[in-house]
Amino acid sequence: MKKTLFIAAALVAAIAGSAFMVADAEMESLEIGAAAPMVKYEMTDVNGQQHSLTSLAQENGVLVVFSCNTCPFVVGRDGKSDGWEDRYNEVYGVAKEAGVGMVLVNSNEAKREGADSMDEMASHSKSEGYMMPYVEDKNHQLADAFGARTTPHVFLFNKDMKLVYKGAIDDNVDSGKEVKEHYLMDALGQLKDGKEITVSSTKPLGCSIKRVDK
């Protein structure tokens, strides 16, 4: 069923001008062990507050999730899929317990005048009850520095701001109840316990980040 969903997604993307897609294979993301870039780069959240990775990091690190307002992999698909944002607040709770800060980053500059405007971000954050900051990444600067490809695409950094996990939240976008591989949750637990991250990299699946030509 899951495989069928992603095949169907790819077909619809091709027909609809790549509305959503699997990660761009040509874009290189940060390597595991790499230092977080742009740690002092300030981004504005939906409440008008400024945040940087440095200010967001807690004693054991920071979790960065590239997200948006409309991607079916984030918000779900007409009752046929939960979408990964249904798990954001749960992830936030686990991250907080692990001493890890968390932020949602919207880098969809090509949709900034529409569905991913700051006003729409604020409305979406309120309707979904986001417990973590939701910030605007102007001109997808942070996404470019990370090599972030999709919404969602997650990057977990430890207390030294070194990358310890990147990729997907888990193995089932359709249903949180049917997840078999809790990639991110496992990584957070292992980070908290001071253990090696057993699965440090998985393939990000979702909509392409909507960049603009510079």
pLDDT digits over 2-28, tens only? 333 433 443 333 323 334 444 454 678
Q: Is residue 86 part of a domain?
A: yes
Query: Residue 48, Cβ neighbours under 10 Å: how many?
Result: 8
Nearest by Cα to 21 from 162, 165, 209: 209
- Under a CB-based contact definition with an 8 Å cutoff, are residues 70 and 30 in contact? no
Query: Residue 3, Cβ neighbours under 10 Å: how many?
Result: 7
pLDDT of residue 23: 45
pLDDT of residue 49: 98
- Under a CB-based contact definition with an 8 Å cutoff, are residues 136 and 47 in contact? no
Strand pairing partners for 64? 103, 155
* Domain containing residue 129: CATH number: 3.40.30.10
> In the chain, how many domains are there?
1
pLDDT of residue 26: 61
Task: Pick the range with the lowest mean pLDDT from 80-84, 104-108, 124-128.
Answer: 80-84
Q: Is residue 92 part of a domain?
A: yes
Rounded Cα–Cα distance for residues 140 and 126 (Å): 23
Q: Is residue 52 part of a domain?
A: yes
Q: Is residue 11 part of a domain?
A: no
pLDDT of residue 105: 98
Tokens of 14: 């091709």
Q: Is residue 14 part of a domain?
A: no
Structural domain including 96 reads 21-208
DSSP assignment letter at 190: H
Tens digits of per-residue pLDDT, 157-176?
Answer: 999 999 999 999 999 999 99
Rg (CA), the chain: 16
Q: Is residue 3 part of a domain?
A: no
Q: Is residue 201 part of a domain?
A: yes
pLDDT of residue 214: 67
Nearest by Cα to 13 from 79, 77, 87: 77
Tens digits of per-residue pLDDT, 55-85?
Answer: 999 999 999 999 999 999 999 987 778 999 9
Q: What is the DSSP string of 120-168?
A: HHHHHHHHHT--S-EEE-GGGHHHHHHT--EESEEEEE-TTSBEEEEE-
pTM above 0.85, yes or no: yes
- Under a CB-based contact definition with an 8 Å cutoff, are residues 197 and 61 in contact? no
- Average model confidence (pLDDT) for the chain? 90
